[in-house]
Amino acid sequence: MAKYRNIIIIIIHSQMIKLQELLNKNGANLKADGVIGPKSTEALANYIANELKKRKWLPQYHGIVWLRTDDKLTNKFEDFCVVYKYGQIVYVCPASTTAGDFYVYNPLTVGGINGTAVAAEQQVVGSHRFVTGAKWSNLWLGAPYFQQILPITIYRDGTKDRQLDQKVTQFGLFGINFHRAGLGDWVNKWSAGCQVVPDKHWFEIVKRFNAGQTIDFTLFCTFG
């Protein structure tokens, strides 16, 4: 258990219970009490490792794994961002892997297809490059971010019903970046399909990466 002593898990009580319940459904034996501890961390690491192996995906040495918790576009940070360094989980926090309400109800048209973008479950090796600089105010959105540099698969959902429709797919470079998502509790305009994390967590996460570093896009669904 000692190897998990330096992990930082920043999840409010109710979200931690949600994560513990998910882990219990997948073979863990945790007390779903919302208390952060090494047993929950170890169970999360084992769960992710098993899911990656099941999909024949690469384990993460230094990067991010995104966990999507449902097929609803809730406009909230109800998914999880799990950060790895040297093969160990070092940070866990809330995230959103779907578009915010603004783009759900005002979808873009790309390649002749109208609809908000939602990344599909996938792993694309070396898909994103870390962009930072000495003066953050000069950066996109005023903060370091991960820029999409390889094509990925997305769903293009134009139904506006907040239910993820997986019928229409596109493959390409759509600017599906990883980035900050402001100070509030709602995604809103912060995502048109990007993977986003509230500011108080994002500014901790970016400390763990170096300029120009490439990481994989690894996202899997915990439901269904």
pLDDT at 3: 46
User: Measured between alpha carbons, how far is 41 from 28 in angstroms, rounded to an integer?
Assistant: 11
Cβ distance 125 to 107 under 8 Å?
no
Average pLDDT, stretch 145-163? 96
Domains contained in the chain, number: 1
pLDDT at 13: 64
Average pLDDT, stretch 153-157? 96
pLDDT at 43: 92
Tens digits of residue pLDDT in 76-90: 999 999 999 999 999
Tens digits of residue pLDDT in 26-73: 989 888 887 767 888 899 999 999 999 999 999 999 999 999 999 999
Tens digits of residue pLDDT in 45-56: 999 999 999 999
pLDDT over 80 (residue 14): no
pLDDT over 60 (residue 8): no
CA-nearest of 8, 9, 6, 5 to 20 is: 9
Work out whether strand 178-180 and strand 109-110 pair parallel, antiparallel, or are unpaired: unpaired
Domain encompassing residue 200: 2-221
Longest dimension (CA), the chain: 53
Distances in Å between the alpha carbon of 32 and those of 7, 20, 39, 40, 149?
A: 19, 5, 11, 9, 39
Average pLDDT, stretch 171-184? 97
- Average pLDDT, whole number, for the chain? 91
- The one-letter amino acid code at 96 reads S
Cβ distance 99 to 108 under 8 Å?
no
Q: Which pTM was predicted? A: 0.92
List the single range of 10-24, 29-43, 166-180, 210-224 with lowest mean pLDDT: 10-24
User: Measured between alpha carbons, how far is 187 from 203 in angstroms, rounded to an integer?
Assistant: 17
First vs last C-alpha separation in the chain: 31
Q: For residue 34, what are its two tokens? A: 């919302």
pLDDT at 4: 43
pLDDT over 60 (residue 212): yes
17-55 b/e (C-beta count within 10 Å ≥ 16 → b) = bbbbebbeeeebebebebebbebbbbbbbebbeebbeee
List the single range of 10-24, 80-94, 123-137 with lowest mean pLDDT: 10-24
pLDDT at 7: 53
CA-nearest of 82, 81, 66 to 118 is: 66
Confidence of residue 1 (pLDDT cuts 50, 70, 90): very low
Strands (E), the chain: 8-9, 63-68, 79-85, 88-95, 109-110, 113-114, 116-119, 122-131, 145-148, 152-157, 169-172, 178-180, 195-197, 214-221
Tens digits of residue pLDDT in 178-210: 999 999 999 999 999 999 999 999 999 999 999
